[in-house]
């Protein structure tokens, strides 16, 4: 069996400025394997996004470890490496898709420049190669390549999210972290985006973690699902099992609220 891409061990994070006992994430532990998609679900304030930001190295945990296995086989503790190495990992080994696409894009440069920027971070300086790769990736995420030189400000919300996905995947990361990637989009736009994400994750054999409050998103995309409540993982398992035969009362409540809606 292959080694996990990610091992999270006893992760804890306090709310900023909180006194003793106020935990945003408490004792979170799980593994993620190559090619696996994991959903983290729960109501607002359950700790989903905080956990994701700790995994990405954006927030420092009070306790615990985030162990990532690099492309070269090394396993590194995300929070023990230096800031420079952590930034390098975030540009090469994993990507982060923001809930609000404008936060994951540079809005003052063109669509092509947004895609090419990560390639430049890896040393590509040939203008023709940058434009060619950006053009191909726009087509790959179902954006018109003729809009390569357009500003993201001219794009719709769904188009911006697809552009953000292209920006993240152009460097072929092994792990993609997504924070509510379909939030705020129209239902038809959500459906197209979810189909695109599922297609790309499968074709590129990516490992992915998707934070969502929408159980339908988790069921469509994820092999396994974690359920969080008040900062703790209360249930985890194969997605179909978690939703079709929930064991924890909170998971039962989440599932029944969707069925009755």
CA 11/CA 30 separation, integer angstroms: 10
How much is the pLDDT for 184? Answer: 81
What is the reported pLDDT for 185?
83
Cα separation, 252 vs 261, whole angstroms: 14
Closest Cα to residue 229, out of 57, 99, 36, 51?
51
| Total count of residues recorded for the chain | 261
Q: How far apart (Å, rounded) are the C-alpha atoms in residues 49 and 85?
A: 23
Report pLDDT for 259. Answer: 66
* Under 8 Å between Cβ of 64 and 10: yes
Amino acid 18: pLDDT: 56
How buried is residue 82: exposed, middle or buried, by Cβ count under 10 Å (0-12/13-18/19+)?
exposed
pLDDT tens, position by position, 210-219: 999 999 999 9
Task: Read off the tokens for 227.
Answer: 């359920």
Quote the DSSP letter at residue 203.
H
Could you say which residues of the chain have pLDDT below 70? Answer: 1, 17-21, 259-261
What does the pLDDT look like over 20-37, one tens digit per residue?
668 999 999 999 999 999
How far apart CA 8 and CA 231 sit, in angstroms, is 14
CB 114 within 8 A of CB 105: yes
């Amino acid at each position: 069996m292959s080694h996990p891409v990610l091992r999270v061990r006893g992760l804890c994070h306090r709310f900023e400025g909180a006194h003793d006992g106020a935990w945003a994430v408490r004792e979170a532990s799980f593994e993620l394997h190559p090619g696996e998609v994991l959903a983290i679900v729960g109501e607002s304030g359950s700790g989903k996004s905080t956990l994701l930001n700790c995994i990405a190295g954006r927030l420092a945990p009070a306790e615990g470890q985030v162990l990532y296995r690099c492309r070269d086989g090394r396993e590194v503790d995300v929070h023990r490496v230096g800031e420079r190495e952590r930034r390098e990992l975030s540009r090469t080994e994993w990507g982060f898709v923001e809930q609000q696409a404008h936060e994951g894009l540079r809005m003052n440069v063109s669509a092509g420049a947004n895609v090419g920027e990560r390639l430049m971070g890896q040393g590509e300086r040939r203008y023709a190669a940058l434009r060619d790769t950006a053009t191909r990736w726009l087509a790959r995420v179902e954006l018109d390549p003729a809009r390569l030189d357009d500003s993201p400000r001219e794009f719709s919300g769904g188009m911006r999210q697809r552009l953000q996905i292209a920006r993240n995947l152009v460097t072929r990361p092994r792990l993609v972290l997504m924070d509510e990637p379909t939030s705020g989009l129209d239902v038809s736009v959500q459906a197209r985006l979810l189909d695109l994400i599922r297609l790309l994750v499968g074709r590129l054999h990516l490992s992915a973690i998707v934070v969502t409050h929408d159980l339908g998103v988790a069921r469509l995309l994820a092999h396994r699902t974690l359920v969080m409540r008040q900062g703790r993982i209360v249930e985890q398992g194969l997605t179909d099992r978690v939703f079709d035969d929930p064991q924890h009362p909170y998971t039962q409540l989440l599932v029944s609220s969707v069925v009755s809606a």
